[in-house]
Amino acid sequence: MRVIAGEARGRRLEALPGTDVTRPTLDQVKEAMFSIVQFDLPGARVLDLYAGSGQLGIEALSRGAARCVFLDENRDAVNIVMKNCKNCGVFDRSRVNIGEAARYLSACHEQFDLVLLDPPFRGGTLEKILPGVEKCVAPGGIVLCESETGLVLPAEVGSLTLKKQYKYGKVLLWKYTKPMAAEEETGGVEE
């Protein structure tokens, strides 16, 4: 597993052994994810929920994101994320947290331009977590979800709208967007 592009291109990333805690995103799928958001990355505030090894958030930082918050509930995974961030030279733009995703989202007061969701497959995790994610997405923001094929997600989750679904072998990518905030009209006040 490695960083595909940007300032940390080619750097190797560590992951926990086995697939019970982390399931690394395939390079083909990761490349597709970042092709989808390539023009939205420069200066973006990113949330990598279910970070695992941190590969998605690190890829975003390598490609120009301003900062990334990584979250995983497994202490060993969090230690791997910190190590990978340091080895890739992006630790200064990273915040690595340990905790359960729903609890983190319910207490979150930040807004993110890009949320990357690669939770454990099966078990309904995406369906359960998307409503909590929605309130943390900045106007104009994007949510990219990775899931197994066969999963059906709603076309709308609060203010998030499903824009496109992509299939790569046994993996689906879902792109949700949040509309830009309605611009206030500026003009004179009539009396």
Residue 92's contacts (CB-CB under 8 Å, 6 or more residues apart) are none
Q: Which of 53, 57, 41, 46 is nearest to 13 (CA)?
A: 53
What does the pLDDT average to over 142-150?
92
pLDDT tens track for 112-122: 999 999 888 77
54: alpha, beta or left? (left if phi > 0; alpha if psi -120 to 50): left
Q: Which of 67, 137, 88 is nearest to 108 (CA)?
A: 137
* 159, amino acid identity: S
Highest mean pLDDT among 14-23, 74-83, 123-132: 74-83
Q: Report pTM.
A: 0.89
C-beta neighbour count of 66 within 10 angstroms: 14
End-to-end Cα distance, the chain: 65
SS (H, E, C) the chain: CECCCCCCCCCECCCCCCCCCCCCCCHHHHHHHHHHCCCCCCCCEEEEECCCCCHHHHHHHHCCCCEEEEEECCHHHHHHHHHHHHHCCCHHHEEEEECCHHHHHHHCCCCEEEEEECCCCCCCHHHHHHHHHHCCEEEEEEEEEEEECCCCCCCEECCEEEEEEEEECCEEEEEEECCCCCCCCCCCCCC
pLDDT tens track for 164-176: 999 988 889 999 9
* 56, amino acid identity: L
Report all structural domains of the chain as residue ranges with CATH numbers, in order of start: 1-176 (3.40.50.150)
Q: Calculate the average pLDDT of the chain.
A: 88
